[in-house]
């Protein structure tokens, strides 16, 4: 499998597969975000539960399946731990402060804008004028959604402004980990080595933090019911986008993934009873449209 993936790098078939993987990651990540948001556990505990299970799933992979990482990979994994820890803290705080339909679109919409800048600096990726038009469309949707929420949002109104600020901060971390992870998965001969060790290392912080600082009081059964499905979704979502960034341009994959905002609207309505409404749905669709323009303009 690893040889097949590496053989597709830089090819037309690899670009097509990267696009499919990014779209698949978008759908799955909307469900992943909904699981972390709730409803049974608070966002801190749900994230800890997810991390416990995807760490357990990664353990046999790193021990028996994938090759051992090359020596130069360990500083990269240290960076992975730091940037993902920051992301998780910011994300859980944002979900605690704001409704899912407020936080999620802003996080996922600002992330690719900053990722484009990081991809230019690290990988020298350059966007075409049409792609920059798509970025502007995407940002118009984000800013419009933020403005609409500031005026009309009723759920968790008292913490709306901090929630939006935390969502933008989380978007910065999304850009950071997307760019850094793309660098990491390209730095090793076997991409699945990076993916397996990524999940093992990334599983360490949040369970310890939640256990020592937040003192969870819910039943173990609730952790299992949310943690195990969340871990599977994490492998499907993050694994897919990691492979997409190895196969093709990081910026394009990151932007295309953010079509997840549209799927998130439906999930929020079904799972949390959050009413999206035609205006907010149109703004979410604008974010997704910008992502599509970026992909088609490449």
Exposed (0-12), middle (13-18) or buried (19+): which is 73, by Cβ within 10 Å? Answer: middle
The Cα diameter of the chain in Å comes to 54
CB-based burial, 152-178: b 16+ in 10 Å, e otherwise: ebeeeeeebeebbbbbbbbbbbbbbbb
List, as one string, the DSSP characters of 88-125: HHHHHHHHHHS-HHHHHHHHHHHHHHHHHHHHHHHH--
How sure is the predictor about 71, in pLDDT bands with cuts at 50, 70 and 90? very high
Model pLDDT, residue 81: 96
* Spatial separation of the C-alpha atoms in residues 110 and 114, rounded to whole Å: 7
pLDDT higher than threshold 90 for residue 58: yes
Residue of 8, 276, 279, 259 lying closest to 138 (CA atoms)? 259
Does residue 249 surpass a pLDDT of 70?
A: yes
- pLDDT at position 68 is 94
| pLDDT of 36 strictly over 90 | no
Decide if pLDDT at 257 tops 60.
yes
């Amino acid at each position: 499998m690893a040889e097949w993936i590496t053989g597709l790098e830089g090819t037309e078939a690899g670009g097509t597969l990267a696009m499919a993987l990014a779209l698949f990651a978008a759908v799955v990540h909307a469900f992943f975000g909904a699981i972390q948001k709730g409803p049974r556990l608070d966002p801190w505990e749900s994230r800890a539960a997810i991390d416990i299970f995807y760490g357990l799933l990664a353990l046999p992979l790193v021990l028996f399946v994938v090759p051992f990482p090359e020596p130069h990979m360990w500083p990269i994994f240290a960076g992975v731990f730091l940037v993902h820890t920051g992301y998780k803290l910011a994300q859980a705080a944002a979900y605690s402060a704001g409704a899912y339909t407020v936080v999620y679109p802003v996080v996922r919409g600002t992330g690719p804008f900053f990722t484009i800048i990081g991809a230019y600096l690290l990988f020298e990726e350059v966007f075409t004028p049409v792609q920059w038009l798509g970025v502007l469309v995407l940002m118009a949707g984000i800013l419009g959604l933020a403005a609409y929420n500031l005026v009309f949002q009723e759920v968790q109104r008292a913490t709306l402004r901090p929630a939006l600020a935390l969502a933008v901060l989380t978007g910065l971390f999304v850009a950071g980990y997307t760019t850094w992870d793309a660098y990491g998965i390209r730095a090793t001969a076997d991409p699945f080595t990076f993916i397996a060790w990524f999940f093992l290392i990334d599983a360490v912080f949040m369970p310890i933090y939640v256990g020592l600082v937040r003192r969870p009081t819910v039943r173990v059964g609730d952790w299992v019911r949310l943690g195990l499905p969340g871990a599977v979704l994490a492998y499907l979502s993050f694994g897919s986008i990691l492979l997409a960034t190895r196969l093709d341009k990081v910026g394009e994959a990151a932007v295309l993934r953010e079509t997840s905002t549209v799927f998130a609207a439906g999930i929020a309505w079904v799972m949390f009873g959050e009413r999206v409404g035609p205006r907010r749905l149109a703004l979410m669709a604008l974010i997704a449209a910008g992502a599509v323009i970026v992909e088609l303009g490449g």
